[in-house]
Copies of this chain bind each other. A is one copy, B any other.
């Protein structure tokens, strides 16, 4: 018996050190097309277990240091940078240690990235999105996202093409490939922005613009990349440009529709079934349907990111009120958890892949040039566009003041909503590149592939470390308002409305968000009936929520106080955004649209989509 124990002990130690010798007692019988899956599961399990163990340990380390930094209020160094360094360190160790199994297992896999890591982040962004802020800044967001990304990709592409044409590094590529690389490197990263700006709780307007931009321009650069790939090896005609733009616009619209449609579908299912009596199944279905929107959209060559984002928003706007209380809480917590894990993991993954991607070919010069041209491209996107936006603001403000003298109205709250120079600078600085770029770069073709991939990877890591690491000091230098958000680290399970985004004004999301949401989603306009509207619905929601959980009453009052100022603020926001889109003429008619849509949302959509008496339903389900 003891001898056996000894034998086992030896086995253990031997295995625990390095599993390679497992290969002896199990020949590798991989079938080409489904990778490691078909090996001897026992052996396979050992390696994947170690790989996963390492990754999870890294994740623990990252989360722990994130806690530590928050706890110690250390802002000089940021967790994301730490995560990357952890990843790099372990990646190096794995690289030098014998046996390629673990190394292969922890390689950056764009499939995993797009199908596992990205969706939770996008979904959570949509679900926790502060709709008021987002849709009141939709103009600036779209401006920076769409033309911004085009400009940046174009500039990058041209510079890279010229550089490679000179041919110092012996890297040769067509213009479309250069453009493709430009596209991959124009995707600013929602993950980084989210985590850094949440930590510093910057002024919501700035936050929303940067966050919204980074969220949307991933979608745009993906579409651009795909389009460029389509032209790979072909002759590029001038019409291609328009075709590309056409493809993008169609993709964006259809993706949005898919997302909203699925959100509404869920709302209807929840309303017209008794599934809320089985909250576990309900929660699963909500999660599954939102994922369906992502995968369907991707499968149909649309933008899954856009679909998922709008699906999340729609879910929160309609379906949320048809859910059982338990599902409301469960979805919130689960989406947050998944998002948090993915966010932390992505950085580790990037750090790891620097060393675990064996085929990479590093071209120092090319990397430097690319890094510089990124800054140039970002610069030439941000500043002209901000100037353009500011011009619109000014014009609109003149228009607006005139209007106010007509119906001596709410001029008091109306302030010129310009993007100050410090904000412009910050938007420029926030242009870190993220994992989306790397994942896209995996799909590059041609002999330059590995050089370009290496370049993209290094540049992305550099931007995150340099820009990300210096964001804190940048915020101070530019004197940007931070620490605005207050409810951040509450762990009371009843603040299921606690906004993820920092916001100075605190509307009751039950009301103003939806309302805004309703208004903004279909056209950007200005509801006249706003304040009474809010107040009435606020009371209803107060009573409603008190019926669910008495504890919520504690929050209601102060939120009530905010409501009026909020209402006004929103209105000024509306005016802003209604011309941010440059539709100066539509300003008068906007109000009509607003009234029309608010009525439509209240009298048609809500009754159709929501349980008219959510309280009662919740009682049923208990």
Contact = CB atoms under 8 A, between A and B. Distances in A.
Given A53-B292, A301-B46, A280 B340 contact: yes
Given A7-B243, A110-B41, A341-B284, A25 B229 contact: yes
A42 B551 contact: no
A615 interface: no
Contacts of A384: none
Interface in A389-429: none
A226 B42 contact: yes
Contact of A8 (B5, B110, B247, B490): B247
Interface stretch (A81-89, A435-443, A461-469): A435-443
Contacts of A168: none
A295 interface: yes
B115 A49 contact: yes
Contacts of A52: 115, 291, 295
A63 B284 CA distance: 8
Contact of A551 (B341, B490, B550): B550
Interface in A16-61: 16, 19, 25-27, 30-46, 48-50, 52-53, 56-57, 59-60
Contacts of A142: none
Nearest to A269: B64
Interface in A476-493: 489-493
A327 interface: yes
A48 B337 contact: no
Contacts of A341: 284, 287-288
Nearest to A439: B41
Given A34-B107, A36-B34, A246-B4, A275 B67 contact: yes
A596 interface: no
A445 interface: yes
A334 interface: yes
Interface in A326-364: 326-327, 329-330, 333-334, 336-337, 340-341, 344, 359
A333 to B, nearest CB: 4
A225 interface: yes
A448 interface: no
A445 B63 CA distance: 42
Contacts of A15: 299-301
Contacts of A37: 35, 107, 109-112
A161 to B, nearest CB: 21
Interface in A226-273: 226, 229-230, 232, 242-243, 246-247, 250-251, 254, 273
A476 to B, nearest CB: 24
A129 to B, nearest CB: 17
Given A40-B445, A247-B4, A49 B288 contact: no
Nearest to A2: B246
Interface in A183-232: 225-226, 229-230, 232
A114 interface: yes
Contact of A326 (B67, B229, B491): B491
Contacts of A226: 42
Contacts of A246: 1, 4-5, 7-8
Given A1-B242, A33-B100, A46-B299, 17 more contacts: A5-B250, A7-B246, A15-B299, A15-B301, A16-B300, A25-B232, A40-B442, A41-B443, A46-B298, A53-B296, A59-B284, A60-B285, A66-B281, A279-B489, A288-B341, A326-B491, A333-B333
23 contacts: A15-B301, A25-B230, A33-B104, A37-B111, A42-B225, A44-B111, A44-B443, A45-B111, A45-B298, A48-B111, A49-B115, A49-B295, A60-B285, A60-B288, A60-B289, A67-B275, A71-B277, A71-B278, A280-B340, A282-B491, A284-B344, A329-B329, A329-B493
The 8 residue pairs across chains A and B that have the minimum distance between CB atoms: A35-B35, A4-B246, A279-B491, A37-B109, A41-B110, A49-B298, A326-B491, A49-B299
